[in-house]
Chains A and B, each alone.
Chain A
């Protein structure tokens, strides 16, 4: 089993819960979210399999190295710049969304900007490390946090106030025509595999079939928790009242005999690590793309410059953007990303074909 691939997907699935996806899905709960989820699983899995199979034609190579062999310099640089923009934006949205959550639920008196500074610094420290070390950090954070996340989900599912009737009610809207927005939000669950474009540098062996089976099961479980647990707690109609349905859901839970009584603090403390790591993966990929695109030797000064641009852009937009605007932005970004993802998979597929034909 290739554990790094699994980590990439798992991190994406976990961040999926906390930021925008549940809100979008719940908004469309009567208008095609359920069917979109059901369609999203085969689509996402298919894209993931095609992508992983194609990229295994280039063992231990990231996208910059692959393009070096097959395309000329200028086209390569343009592609890398566009790609890095996409990845930067992914990490950006996660950070912006999460600082808003922290601001609302943990530190309401603190300015969002100063929180953004802290998050940006933490993320920037991680992204400039070598790819291998980024994955080590991801591994450590997941090992420390995931058991607790599962504990919370377990707590939620066994809670006496969890209303299965609401879940079934939403389930009856299974046959409405799937909405495209919901579909693109739901496929985000799988998006973690896109980071393989850089992390492929660490993949020595071919990715085996068992990985995809595990991913399939995880994604079903993840979609269910993302979508149905808030509905089960707040009711089919109540769930859409909240901007961050899952965080509010965590606040419904309590551990009466634990030292920390309100689960929301446990939940958010776990998610600080997970979101930072998730944003760090995205930004690391963006950073490595820019590194690959820089023509001359990549100096420390250049790296520092990129880090400063990354963090300053986040901090400045944190001052300007409101939560509703980010919600709007991320909805359309998710759609754009879905289309972009299909293009990238096709692109990599043809690159792999071309390589096979050449040899």
Chain B
């Protein structure tokens, strides 16, 4: 490249970037040569710039030797075009102008590299730390747990403005090529300005494929990622987010917790069964209550029917209003306890849950049995180990409830049937959502 070309590139770059106080453009001189460095000091590591660029520049005497040093340094990339250079500058690389050459020196500062404790998917035993918010550290964590030569990765950037780095990880030996192709296509079609975390992908699925249930698993656990890589799944790591995305995901992945494999086999089975029972209860119980009190009290034994009717005797309105009232109160309580600062959280739930429930029954607004049902629903909903899936279940129970209001018991059964058919119709990157058993991936 000619010196004049460099001059124009340099001027262009300077022109395009706003001259704020953290933009540094400096020329360093020795007797023979001069070098120009261009970087943003809030993004780049100045100590490293001192070590890797400035010191060698003054210590290496001949300019040709320094040029060789720049060319052969592993952190240095050659100049490609202006556009790319500007982008790299904006993520923290240092641009070095030396003689008739331009180099990009990767001296980014990694501020969020500390590994965080798991807070969402906690287990009693097993590894306790999750990912960090830095993609490099996360990649390292995965590599550490998955030391396989066949581990492959593809880097891409998503987001027109944010240009977030996303790494697609998979094991070449076990990955399903069709799934991989679909994942690539999916990543290419994403059209968004700000992309900051893997969870956003849930929302970004194309309109025609919008689903109530999440079709990818978001996890903060490196052990979960490693185990899924071995099972032939594709993992997306997003820069700046301590959550990884696992694709494709089927329902049984949502119902399994990492704790299952840190137990003896039968205990693990018991826990899984327990979760499915919880799932069933939280979906069906409110609508069953409406169906049985308002439509078909004769289904149960007479004693039970009478005791339900007796407990409802003070309640002045139909069963479905009672159920709606309590369910909405419960949802509000859950939402509020997420938003509240940690110090006030327990107080709010106590006030809401205990006192409100007690007072509501005493005032004759809801029946005692209703309180039992609402709390059973709330508790069993939290048994679902993955948060996104639990949230979907929270919504589903209302659909069943509406059917039971209009059709009673028949509505509940048909609603459940419809739910099953809907789940069957879902697919996560080509894999049926209700897949129960998966064959061990063939080694390609």
Contacts and interface: CB of A to CB of B under 8 A. Distances in A.
Interface of A: 102, 106-107, 110, 114-115, 118-119, 122, 125-126, 129, 133, 136-137, 140-141, 259-262, 265, 269, 272-273, 276-277
B215 to A, nearest CB: 16
Contacts of A269: 409, 413
A276 B419 CA distance: 14
A118 B414 contact: yes
B362 to A, nearest CB: 29
A107 B295 contact: yes
Interface on chain A toward B: helix, strand, loop, or mixed SS? Answer: helix
A137 B424 contact: yes
Given A118-B410, A261-B301, A106 B296 contact: yes
Nearest to B304: A259
B18 interface: no
Given A118-B414, A137-B421, A141-B417, 20 more contacts: A106-B409, A107-B408, A110-B408, A115-B407, A119-B414, A122-B414, A129-B424, A129-B425, A133-B424, A133-B425, A136-B432, A136-B434, A140-B420, A140-B424, A259-B300, A259-B301, A262-B298, A269-B413, A272-B413, A276-B414
26 contacts: A107-B296, A107-B408, A107-B409, A107-B410, A115-B410, A118-B411, A122-B418, A126-B421, A129-B421, A129-B424, A133-B425, A136-B424, A136-B432, A137-B420, A137-B421, A140-B424, A140-B434, A259-B300, A260-B299, A260-B300, A261-B301, A262-B298, A265-B296, A265-B299, A269-B413, A272-B417
A250 to B, nearest CB: 13
Contacts of A126: 421
Contacts, number: 70
B156 to A, nearest CB: 31
B418 A125 contact: yes
Instruction: Rank and list the top 8 A-B pairs by shortest CB-CB distance, nearest first.
Output: A272-B413, A265-B299, A136-B424, A122-B414, A261-B301, A126-B421, A137-B424, A137-B421
Contacts of A273: 413, 417
A269 B411 CA distance: 10
Interface in B245-299: 295-296, 298-299
Nearest to B426: A133
A212 to B, nearest CB: 28
A115 B422 CA distance: 21
A108 B227 CA distance: 54
Contacts of B432: 133, 136
B340 to A, nearest CB: 39
A118 B408 CA distance: 12
Interface in B377-417: 403, 406-411, 413-414, 417
A276 B424 contact: no
Contacts of A141: 417, 420
A148 to B, nearest CB: 13
Contacts of A140: 420, 424, 434
A258 to B, nearest CB: 9
A277 B420 CA distance: 12
B280 to A, nearest CB: 11
Interface on chain B toward A: helix, strand, loop, or mixed SS? Answer: helix
A141 to B, nearest CB: 7
Nearest to A122: B414
A311 B295 CA distance: 26
B300 A261 contact: yes
Nearest to B422: A125
A102 B407 CA distance: 11
A136 B417 CA distance: 12
Nearest to B412: A269
Contacts of B299: 260, 262, 265
Nearest to A259: B300
Nearest to B298: A262
Nearest to B414: A122
B407 A118 contact: yes
A99 to B, nearest CB: 9
A141 B414 CA distance: 12
A188 to B, nearest CB: 24
Contact of A125 (B296, B408, B421): B421
Contacts of A136: 424, 432, 434
A102 B434 CA distance: 30
Contacts of A115: 407, 410
B281 to A, nearest CB: 14
A272 B412 CA distance: 11
A140 B421 CA distance: 9
Contacts of B425: 129, 133
A259 B300 CA distance: 6
A136 B329 CA distance: 38
Contacts of B434: 136, 140
A277 B416 CA distance: 13
B294 to A, nearest CB: 11
A273 B409 CA distance: 12
B179 to A, nearest CB: 18
B300 A276 contact: no
A133 B295 CA distance: 33
B289 to A, nearest CB: 14
A137 B433 CA distance: 12
A265 B414 contact: no
A290 to B, nearest CB: 20
Contacts of A125: 418, 421-422
A338 B300 CA distance: 42
B238 to A, nearest CB: 32
A106 B410 contact: yes
A122 B295 CA distance: 21
Contacts of A262: 298-299
B336 to A, nearest CB: 35
Nearest to A129: B425
Given A129-B425, A136-B424, A261-B301, A102 B410 contact: yes
A104 B199 CA distance: 49
A51 B417 CA distance: 32
Contacts of B296: 106-107, 265
B88 to A, nearest CB: 46
Contacts of A107: 295-296, 407-410
Contacts of A114: 406-407
Contact of B417 (A129, A260, A265, A276): A276
A270 B411 CA distance: 13
B318 to A, nearest CB: 15
Nearest to A135: B424
A126 B414 CA distance: 12
Nearest to A136: B424
A119 B408 CA distance: 14
A265 B413 CA distance: 11
Q: Most A CB atoms within 10 A — which of B296, B413, B434?
A: B413
A205 to B, nearest CB: 18
A140 B414 CA distance: 14
A129 B298 CA distance: 36
B284 to A, nearest CB: 12
